[in-house]
Structure 1
Amino acid sequence: MNNPNLHRVFHGMDYTPLNAMYPDCITNPPTQNNITRDMAVLSLLTDKIRLYGNDCNQTELVLHAIDALQINMTVWAGVWLDNNQTTNTRQLNHLYTLLADSKNRDKFAGVAVGNEVLFAKTLTETQLFDVIDGVRSNLTSLGYNLPVGTSDLGSNWNADMAAKVDVLMANVHPFFAGVVVEKAANWTWTFFQENDVVLTDNLAKKPRVMISEVGWPSGGGSDEGSVAGIDQMNRFMADFVCQSNAKGMEYFWFEGFDEPWKIKYNTPGKQWEDKWGLLDVNRKLKDGLKIPTC
C-alpha cells in the first residue's frame, strides 16, 4: 500500500470504516481486509486516528490491523451517543469490554464521548457530562489514566464545560462558516483561540485543547464564500497543516477517506457530505491532490 505521494504530516486523522454504521452493518458488516488496507494507508499520513463509535466491531478490527501491520498508531476511542438509551448503553458497554482486554492497553490515547451531541440536541449538557463522569470513573476502575472528552462545535463550548473534561475537542470548519479558502487557515486558528482556547485561561486545572475536526471538501458546490474543490483542498492544506504542526497544535484532519453513505445528507447545490476524504473509498488519492511535506 506504499504511495510516495502520501506523507506522514497530519497530527491525527478522523476515520470511520466502511460499512460500520449500525444497524446496516448487521447485514453488511465491515471487513478486516478493508480496514487493514485502510490502516496501512493511514499510517502513511499520521500516527493517530480518532474513531466516532465502536459498533460493528470496528474498534477491534482497527486494533487487529495495527497489530497485523506492526505500525506505530494510537487510537482515540469513540463512543457514539444519541437520544436512544439502548444505543448509549451498547456503546459504553462495548468500550469497557475493549478496555478490559489487556492486549489493548497501550493502543488507546484517549476517549471521545459523543460527537456534536449538544449541537444535535440529542442530550442535554447535564446528561452528557453525567455520562462523561461515568466513563472517567469506569476507566479508573479498569486501571486507565486516559484523557476523556467530548467533541462538539467550537462555538458550543463554554468555561463550565471546559472545566469538566480532560480534553476540549472542538470541531472547527471554515468551509461551513463561508470563509474564502485564502483566509481559511488564519480564520481557523483565530476562531479556535477566541472561542475555545480562551475558555481554559482561568481554570485551575486546564484541559488539553484540540481541534477534533478540520478539513475541506473536494467538490459538491459552494457555501457562501467557501468553494468545494481539489484546488481549495490543496490551498487549505498548504496553509494549515505544516503551520499548525509548527505551532504545536493538536488536530484531527477530517478525513482520510470519502464516506459514500453520507450521500443521503446531500441537497441540490450542496453535494459535499460524501466528499471530505483525501482518498476515495477505494484508497486512491484524489486526482490533483497534493499532500504537504513538512
Structure 2
Amino acid sequence: MSPSSSPLSRVAPIAWLILVVAAMSGAYWWWQIGRPVPLADTPTAHIACVSYAPFYRPGQTPLDPHAFVSPAQIDADLRALSERFDCVRTYSQGFGLSAVPSIAQRYGMKVLMGVWIGRDPVANQREVQMGIATAKAYPEVLRGVIVGNEVLLRGEQSPTALAGYITQVRNAIHDTHVPVTYADVWEFWLHYPQMADVVDYITIHILPYWEDEPVEPKDALKHVAEVYGRMKTQFPGRSVMIGETGWPSHGKQRRAAAASLVNEARYLREFLRYAGSVDMPYNVIEAFDQPWKREQEGTVGGYWGIFDVNAHPKFSMQGPVVEEPRWLLGWWAGAAGAVLFLLAAWWRAEWRGVRSRVTLLLAGFASGAALAWQFRQMWYASRNQLEWVFAGVMCLLALGTAIALARWIAARLGGAPSTHAPDRRVHFAWLFALTFYGLLLVFDGRYRDFPLGLFWLPAAGYLLVALLDTDRVAMPSVEQRFMACLLPLLAAVVVAQDVGLSPPAWLWLGVNLALSGSVLIAWRRAARLQAYQAQAAYQ
C-alpha cells in the first residue's frame, strides 16, 4: 500500500479540518460578542417604576428567615434609584422592608408596597398586620398595596384563602383610599378570574422569556401588547397594570429566547418606548441583580437587574450595546493555551516538526478559547466557593486531558508511528460525566446551563484520537458502547425540548456526537476486524 493511500493519510485531512474549525470558531465567538450592537434609543432613561429587592450584597438572601436590611442601606439604594425611577415595588414587609415607604417619601418616590403571602398562616398574618399599619401610616406615599405575589402560581394558597387575605387588607385600609391588588402571571388571572372581584385593579406579570412557549426578543414587544390587550378584553372596565416585565442578561437560552445583555437592553428600550406611547401603568423587574435567586432559578435568576450587584448600570438607554467589552481576553486565553501546549511538548523530537507544532498551536488556541468561555459562564453561574472549586477542578482536568491528547495527536500528524493510546480510564470517566450531565439536562434541565467549554476539550480530543489511531484495533467495553449510543439520544431530546430553536442545544448535541463518535469509530474498526478474522478462520 502506498503512503498516499494509507489509512492515516485518508483521515489526516479530516483531523486538520477539525483543528482549524475549532480554533477559528473560538476566535470568531469571542470576536462577535465584542461587537457593538446598534439598538433603538429610548427618549429618556427615566422609568416609571421598578421592583426593589435589596438582597444583592454578598450573603444577603430572603431565604434566611433572620435576614435584615438596614435602613441605611435602603436609604442609600432609594437615594440612587430616585434619580431614574419615580416608584419602587416591594414584595414583603419583613427583613426591614417596612421602612421603604418612609424612606421613599424623603426622595419624592411612590411605592407599590408588597405584602408577602406564603404557606405559613402565622407568617401571613404578621405580614398582613404590618402591611395594614404601614399603609395607614404612609397612605400618601403608596400607589397601591399588593397582597400576595404569584401565590397561585406557586400553589401555596387556594383562591378562596388568598381572597380572604386580600379582603382583610382592603377592608382595614379602606379609609386611606389606597387601592389593593394581587399580582400573578397573566395566565393565572385567566385560570382564576374570580380574583378580580376582590381587588381594586388587576396586576399581571408578562415575562416573555419565562413563557411556557418562550418568545424571542424580536417578537417580545408584540407579545406584551397582545397579552395586555387580551387582559383588557377579558376584564372590561377594569384597570390592568403590568406588575413585572423584563429580560435576563445571563443564563440558559430557552428556545429562541436568549438571555443576554444585548437582549435585555433591546427589550427594555423597546418596551419603554411602547409604554410611553400608550396609557399603560407598568413596573419593570428589577432594580438590582439578585445573586440569591440563582439557588432557585439557576444562573438566569440572578440577572434581571438594570443595575449589577455593585449598583452600576449594566447598559445605557442610548447608543450601541456590547455583550462583552472584555472580549479580547478570550483571544489572549487562546494564545496562552497555544503557548502552553507548545511548552508541554517541547522536549520530545516527535513534537518538533512543523506539522506537530502547528497541531499543538491550533489545539492550544482552541482549548484556551473554550476554557475562557467556560470561565465566563462560571463567573456568572457560581454561587459560592464550593462551586468555584468544583468547576475549577473540572476545568483543570479538561485542560490536562486536552494537553495529553494534543501531544498524541501532534505526534501522529507529525508522522511519528502510533504509540500507546491515551488512558482508556480517563476516556471512560469523561463518557460517564457527559452521560450523567446529559441525564440531568433531560430530566431536570430547566435551570441548567450547557457546560460546552468544559466538555468540548475531551470530546474533540478523543474524536481526533479515534480518527488517527489507525494502527491499533481495540474493542471498547460494553459500558463505553452503551454510553456512546445513549449520549446522542439524550442530546437529541434536549434539542427537541427546545423544538430545535436553541443554538446552544445544537452545540451540545455536537459535543455529545463527538465524544460518542470516538467510541463508535473504534467499535466499527474492531467489529470489522472480528468479522474479517472470523471469515479467514472459516476459510
TM-score by length of 2: 0.48
Residue 211 in 1 paired to residue 242 in 2?
A: yes
> SS of the residue aligned with 1:113?
strand
Deviations 1:111-156 (A, max 9, x none): 100000111111111111121111111112xx21111110011011
Equivalent residue in structure 2 for 1:40, among 51, 62, 79? 79
What do the CA deviations read for 1:196-235 (whole angstroms, capped 9, x no partner)? 222222xxxx332011000000111211111001110111
Secondary structure at the counterpart of residue 241 of structure 2: strand
Single out whichever of 152-161 and 116-125 deviates more from structure 2.
Answer: 152-161
Measured in 2, the distance between the counterparts of 1:238 and 1:284 equals 18
Decide which of 94, 99, 110 is 1:55's aligned counterpart.
Answer: 94
Aligned twin of 2:134:
98
2:179 — aligned with what?
A: 147
1:20 is displaced (CA, Å) by 6.6
1:199 to 215, 219, 234: 234
Once residues 291 and 166 of structure 1 are traced to their aligned partners in structure 2, the CA distance between those partners, rounded to angstroms, is: 33
- What is the match of residue 290 of structure 1? 316
Kept after mapping to 2: 8 A contact 1:20/1:55: no
Query: Is there any run of 5+ residues in structure 2 with no aligned partner, and where?
Result: 1-41, 320-539
State whether residues 104 and 111 of structure 2, in contact with CA within 8 Å, keep that contact through their aligned partners in structure 1.
no
Aligned to 2:145: 111
Q: Deviations over 1:56-86 (max 9, x none)?
A: 22121x234334xx32211111110011101
SS in 2 for 1:253: coil
Match of residue 286 from structure 2: 255
Q: How far is 1:9 from its partner?
A: 2.7
Look up the match of 2:305. Answer: 277
SS in structure 2 at match of 1:93: helix
Q: Which moved further from structure 2: 162-171 or 144-153?
A: 162-171
Given that residues 48 and 282 in structure 2 are in contact (C-alpha distance below 8 angstroms), is that contact kept between their aligned partners in structure 1? Answer: yes
Equivalent residues of 1:13, 1:48 under 8 A apart: yes
Residues 101 and 142 of structure 2 are in contact (CA less than 8 Å); yes or no, is this contact kept in structure 1?
A: no
Cα offset, 1:32, TM superposition: 2.1
Amino acid at match of 2:68: P
Q: Distance in 2 between matches of 1:41 and 1:242?
A: 23
Q: Does 1:66 align with 2:104?
A: yes
Pick which of 10-19 and 113-122 moved more.
10-19
Q: Which amino acid aligns with 1:21?
A: P
Match for 1:198: what amino acid? T
Point out the more displaced range, 34-43 or 15-24: 15-24
SS, match of residue 223 in structure 1? coil
Distance 1:239 1:135 in 2: 36
Q: Deviations over 1:155-205 (max 9, x none)?
A: 1113432233111000110011211101111111112222x222222xxxx
Unaligned runs of 5+ in 1: none
Shift of 1:277: 0.2
For the residues of structure 1 that align with 2:141 and 2:127, how far apart are their CA atoms?
A: 19
Take 1:281 and 1:231, find their aligned partners in 2: how far apart are those partners? 18
Taking the aligned partners of 1:161 and 1:64, their CA distance within structure 2 comes to 30
- What amino acid maps onto 1:50 in structure 2? R
> Do 2:166 and 2:181's aligned partners in 1 also have CA atoms closer than 8 Å?
yes
User: Which protein is bigger by CA-based radius of gyration?
Assistant: 2
2:50 is aligned to 13
Kept in 1: contact 2:128–2:165 (CA 8 A):
no
Partner SS state of residue 16, structure 1: coil
Equivalences, count: 270
**Cα deviation code 1:261-294 (max 9, x no counterpart):** 1121144xxx2001000111221112xx12259x
Give the secondary structure class of the aligned counterpart of 1:226.
Answer: coil
State the SS of the aligned residue for 2:96.
helix
Name the CA distance, whole Å, in 1 between partners of 2:318 and 2:196: 32
SS of residue in 1 equivalent to 2:85: coil
Structure that is richer in helix per residue: 2
Kindly tell me: are residues 32 and 78 of structure 1, through their superposed partners in 2, closer, same or farther at Cα, counting changes over 3 Å?
A: same
In the aligned structure 1, how far is the partner of 2:227 from the partner of 2:77? 32
Q: How far apart in 2 are the matches of 1:79 and 1:292?
A: 35
Give the percent of matched residue pairs that are identical in Structure 1 and Structure 2.
25
Q: Equivalent residue for 1:87?
A: 123
Q: In structure 2, what residue type is equivalent to 1:272?
A: V
Residues 121 and 266 (structure 1), Cα distance of their counterparts in 2 relative to 1, 3 Å cut: closer
Q: Is the 8 A contact 1:9 1:292 kept in 2?
A: no
Match of 1:185 among 221, 226, 243: 221
Q: Is the CA contact 1:76–1:110 (under 8 Å) kept in the aligned structure 2?
A: yes
Q: Which whole-Å CA distance do the structure 2 matches of 1:133 and 1:231 have between them? A: 42
C-alpha separation between the residues in 1 aligned to 2:118 and 2:52?
Answer: 19
Larger CA deviation: 220-229 vs 7-16: 7-16
> What TM-score results when the alignment is normalised by the length of structure 1?
0.86
Q: In structure 2, what is the Cα distance between the partners aligned to 1:119 and 1:99? A: 26
Q: Distance in 2 between matches of 1:66 and 1:247?
A: 27
Q: Is the contact made by 1:218 and 1:233 (CA closer than 8 Å) also made in structure 2?
A: yes
Match of 2:188 in 1: 156
